[in-house]
A and B are shown apart, each in its own frame.
Chain A
Amino acid sequence: MKPLLWIEAVVEPHSHSRIEYMIKAKSQFKQRSTANNVEIVIPVPPDADTPSFKTSIGTVKYAPERDAIVWAIKQFHGGKEYLMRAHFGLPSVSNEEDKKDKPPITVKFEIPYFTVSGIQVRYLKIIEKSGYQALPWVRYITQNGDYQLRTS
């Protein structure tokens, strides 16, 4: 199975001056499905400053309290690919400790009318001795669980 949302990150750090990100997000489900409220969280160094972004879709925000960029896409259709570029300044003196842990990229999403396993309800029969007619309604949704992509 292909991961429903695939993220590729190219990170170009230029020590003591700047760091650049090129993030590619790809939806690997069928075109007729749509992922809603997609949120891609890309961790950045805690001492990064002066953020600037460029994207073809959605909104990008720097969340300094999380040391991350949050790329939010309201509707991500299937079989699509989008790019986002980010640029940060780095201080000329950096803390070596900060570079040690690189948290993974995490993704949030929900895809309605879709089950990733392919499970389907074939019938739901209701029988009561009084013989009333009952309405069964079925809904499907796939969401992210613990969805992580390591960067290095």
Chain B
Amino acid sequence: MRLQVLKDYFRELEEESIRDNFVITYELMDEMMDFGYPQISEAKILREYITQEAHKLEVVKPPMAVTNAVSWRSEGIKHRKNEIFLDVVERLNLLVAANGTLLRSEILGSLKMRSYLSGMPELKLGLNDKLLFEATGRRTGGRGVSKGKAVEMEDIKFHQCVRLARFENDRTISFIPPDGEFELMSYRLNTQVSAIELDHRQARIRQRPRLRAPRLTR
């Protein structure tokens, strides 16, 4: 009976919880018996006398993600609206000499994501990657692709969630994203590339294999 009372107060009953709650244990025992005769042993009634909150043991479990194969995402993530935002940000470094010659010109690109997706989503990202196009026998110049040229990226760096073996193998960027904000990849480019204009609105991409070039409205 006594055990039940202690469990009621401490939730977990073990050596450590008694040590943590020595004072309450003592007070409970004081209330529950007088001169060896049992008195009140009902926890709900005792709560009226001993109102103190017990220190409850925190059960330390390693976070799910640590023991998982996917260490950057925990299971059971829920979002009411499943959305993912991808920002393609490029910074242009440039150094021009006084006589007008280009001394340095490079692009530092970064793909930033904000992921609000439930569960364990599998994502696949397709870029107009030159090496991919060459590998799949697509034309890399002119009007072959949805629009314009393919881009040859250098120094590609991925977030740990991207399956590198898969990328090495067939240049597919596939991954289970972490929740929230992260940098999916970064790259560098020496700028012998001509610029391609993109849609003027925030382009929503539908889930179909190929994208049509978004038309410009102005």
Contact = CB atoms under 8 A, between A and B. Distances in A.
Contacts of B93: 145-147
Interface stretch (A54-62, A66-74, A88-96, A132-140): A132-140
Given A136-B205, A141-B90, A114 B197 contact: yes
A145 B195 CA distance: 17
A123 B211 contact: yes
B82 A132 contact: yes
Interface residues of A, number: 47
A116 B90 contact: yes
Nearest to B81: A135
Interface residues of B, number: 65
Interface string A98-135: 00000010000000011111111111111111101111
A125 B207 contact: yes
A150 interface: yes
A125 B127 CA distance: 12
Interface stretch (B33-41, B51-59, B101-109): B101-109
A147 to B, nearest CB: 5
B83 interface: yes
B86 A121 contact: yes
Interface string B84-123: 1111111111111110001001011100000001111111
Given A117-B109, A117-B191, A119-B88, 17 more contacts: A1-B191, A1-B192, A3-B105, A30-B195, A116-B90, A116-B107, A116-B193, A123-B211, A124-B124, A127-B123, A132-B82, A135-B204, A137-B84, A144-B92, A149-B94, A149-B95, A149-B96
